[in-house]
Amino acid sequence: MNQLSLPRHQRPSTFDQFLFGACYYPEHWDRSWIETDAALMAQANVNVVRMAEFAWTLMEPKRGAFDFSLFKAAVQALKAQGIDTILCTPTATPPRWLTRDHPEWMRVDRNGVPFSHGTRQHCCTNHPEFRAESRRITRAMAEAFKDDAAVIGWQTDNEFYCHVDECYCESCQIAFRDWLRARYNQSIKELNHAWGTLFWSQQYDDFTEIEIPKKWRQPAPCNPSALLDYRRFLSDSITSFQREQVEILREVNPSWWITHNGVFYNIDYYTFAEDLDFLSVDVYPAFWGTKPECFIGASQLNERCRQATGTFLVPEQCGGPGGQLDFLQPTPEPGRMRLWAYQSIAHGADGMLHFRWRTCRYGAELHWHGILDHDNVPRRRFEEFTQEGAELKRIGSEILGTTKRVDVGISFGYEQDHAHAVMNFSRPQPDAQRELILAELMRRKIAVGYVNEADSYAGLKVLIVPSAIILDTVRAKKIEAFVAAGGVLLVTATTGQRDVNNHAIEQTLPGLLSEVLGITVEEFGKTEHRKMCLKGAGIELPADYYEIIKCVTAEPLAHWRFEANPGSEAAEGTVGLSCNEFGKGKAFYFGSFLNASSASVLLQMLCEQAGIETLGMTDTNVCIIERRAADRRLTFVLNNYPEAKLVQALPVGDELITQKFCNGSLTVPAFGVAIVRS
């Protein structure tokens, strides 16, 4: 099947082997270590490394005096051991001679203070002269390695917007105005309309009068339409910066694949990734904790990546406890590093590189531990790394060509969170609801995943749209078509309240979705006095935000009741949950935001309506995730507990890790992994 005909989130990789390895920094060690490192990596079943993302100063110690000899030697020594290389453009860390001569290239914070040398991501990616430097070093690197078959792909820069995404320098002011001119067809009249500048007498006569909205309050709240456009600009401008590098790399050697290692905020990765072969994501699960229920932190991060391009790569996966100047994460227990790696693979990764090969002895990350410690002695992390590599070498061909099964899609949209954020009155953002839904359904062993609102809904049985406050006709028609064809839909409060300019719509809510939902929204607001009673079930769902629904063609399923002070708001007994039959499907509307109580009840209802089957039966925080292709399915079982767990109702087939037959039931050891092929 043509990959382009598949929904984006279901596209497999085109790798010819499962990639396994580590991030390697030969510049941090004596050159004589390279061959020893390569031999030890081969012993650990490594087939790829990533390097050079922070080495600009070594590759160009003086302007125009390029020296790639260290990395050429490393690439060749690694290849002699059967190990390929992913190179990175080094633009996240420009050398001192560049920043010394051009202080005007530095980013500027909200208070007008320029950044200084001595960290990373300190140069402004919108400065035209820094962009020229970015193109220059990218071309020099590409030309130096264009004929080296050991270099199989590239990563652009490193973790765009990891530390800072906003900049208020003059170059950004100019770039923002140019972006606005292009968006509004050179018409200041169009911009004034889109921003609603008649409010508070904000009208502009020319684009040169516009400044980046620097603060949320200056002294009163900023224009929410301007703030949303600034978020759009941040995404588009970094996409443009990356595109210049991508074009050079593709010109020099079209056979290279190209990726970038996200995932952070203020980048619309669905659009950003269109210039890439696939997106990648760096995963450090300990940021979310190490309790069994904390699996959801890394799962949602993997899903934010997968929704952009389908199968993906992990250039940095936890290789030990992470630590910088002011923190040190807990040391992963034996087995957990490998478990976390398989978690990303279950979500769709076709490559796994651990950070880092050896812990650095200096710098801001001297306590960000790698596979080897400072003394270079292989210990239990190396043994676990080696085990993981051996397993992936043996079963990697089974994984390649499969993609994650998704029966229930959770709608994901970059602009939805930002439209909420600029005027949220303490409501939970869509992202919080997405994570809640993902966690609840994963605990129920349902095949669930994020699906971009611009992607195809083909193959989904259920679509959940959590508070998509911005809606246009294209999105609305897609949702209608999904339900009409037999899909089950759940929409939560505030969906469709605003147009693409972040203006409140003039139609009665839910606006463009009124017909498919079969309702109108008569009133909405915050409350401390309401609970929802689910019809016929005797279940109360607490809520601190309410919408009063008027059913037109829909059936009421639950009504609001007062907990206290009944005279404070609209009448008790009004509808808060509805279901509308539309075409062959059903559309539910929940007049509040999902919380733990309401998610548990409503998601069970949805799955029953759609006939969703579970992937297996076991304890709550044991994850079961399926990847599949036309000729096989792989059921991943991930035990997040420090004790063994029994798993039942699995498919019958071969368990790939132990190479034993699974009759539908198996016991997974503490922090263990099983993969059943059926």
Which residues have a catalytic role annotated?
159, 316
Per-position DSSP letters for 9-37, written without gaps between them: GGPPP--SS-EEEEE--GGGS-TTHHHHH
The β-bridge relationship of strands 555-562 and 575-582 is antiparallel
Q: Which residue has the tokens 């959801």?
A: 296
23 has which bridge partners?
Answer: 50
Residues 6+ apart with CB under 8 A from 675: 342, 395, 398, 634, 635, 636, 637, 655, 656, 657
The β-bridge relationship of strands 327-328 and 408-412 is unpaired
DSSP code for 571: P
Cα separation, 647 vs 445, whole angstroms? 11
Q: At what angle do helices 295-309 and 336-347 cross, to 10 degrees?
A: 30
Q: Kindly tell me the burial class for residue 89, based on how many C-beta atoms sit within 10 Å of its own C-beta (0-12, 13-18, 19 or more).
A: buried
- Do 519 and 491 touch, CB atoms closer than 8 A? no
Helix (H, G, I), strand (E, B) or coil at 220: coil
- Do 421 and 429 touch, CB atoms closer than 8 A? yes
Amino acid, single-letter form, for residue 303: E
Distances (CA, A) of 478 to 240, 463, 493, 588: 29, 11, 19, 16
Tokens linked to 44: 């650990």
Nearest to 512 by CA among 470, 453, 551: 470
